[in-house]
């Protein structure tokens, strides 16, 4: 676990620069959600526009929207492939993204089409801490 300030970022995940995380499962699928920095910055999630099962997504493509009292943000796919599942529990309680961003608050599962190449474009390992520190700095500048 990488902990930077108040933010927890599991170091076994891959992160897209738009704050989606990706976990490669043992069966080769990829579970995707939004990271702790995103959910704490946005505040309590009030609505999510989920992507559709069966849709094809490209890495970096907006495939949904997440709304909080503070803003409407885009949900970007960190990997390319076919969406094979969406977390329908979020339709009843979208604050699961806040309460459990890396577990119960997952958003979709993808059957990747180009995983090895996609993973090269994501943030992982020792790159997580400097990246999130810069994100925190940038957020502070916007407030200031």
Residue 41 has a pLDDT of 93
Establish how many alpha carbons lie within 13 A of residue 61's alpha carbon, considering only the half-sphere containing its beta carbon. 13
Distance from C-alpha of 36 to C-alpha of 50, rounded to nearest angstrom: 19
Q: Mean pLDDT of all residues in the chain?
A: 96
**pLDDT for residue 76:** 97
Burial class (CB in 10 A: 0-12, 13-18, 19+), 13: buried
State the pLDDT at residue 111.
98
**What's the whole-number mean pLDDT along residues 37-56?**
96
The model's confidence at residue 144, banded by pLDDT at 50, 70 and 90, is confident
- pLDDT for 70 equals 86
pLDDT at 56 over 90: yes
pTM for the predicted model, two decimal places: 0.97
Confidence of residue 118 (pLDDT cuts 50, 70, 90): very high
Tell me the C-alpha distance between 41 and 52, whole Å.
26
């Amino acid at each position: 676990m990488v902990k930077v300030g108040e933010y927890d970022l599991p170091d076994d995940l891959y992160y897209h620069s738009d704050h989606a995380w990706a976990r490669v499962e043992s069966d080769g699928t990829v579970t995707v959600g939004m990271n702790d920095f995103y959910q704490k910055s946005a505040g309590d999630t009030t609505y999510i526009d989920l992507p559709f099962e069966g849709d094809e997504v490209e890495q970096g493509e907006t495939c949904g929207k997440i709304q909080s009292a503070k803003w409407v943000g885009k949900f970007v796919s960190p990997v390319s492939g076919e969406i094979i599942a969406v977390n329908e529990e979020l339709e009843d309680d979208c604050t699961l993204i806040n309460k459990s961003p890396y577990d119960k608050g997952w958003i979709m599962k993808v059957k990747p089409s180009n995983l090895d190449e996609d993973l090269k474009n994501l943030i992982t390992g020792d790159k997580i801490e400097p990246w999130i520190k810069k994100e925190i700095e940038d957020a502070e500048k916007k407030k200031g």
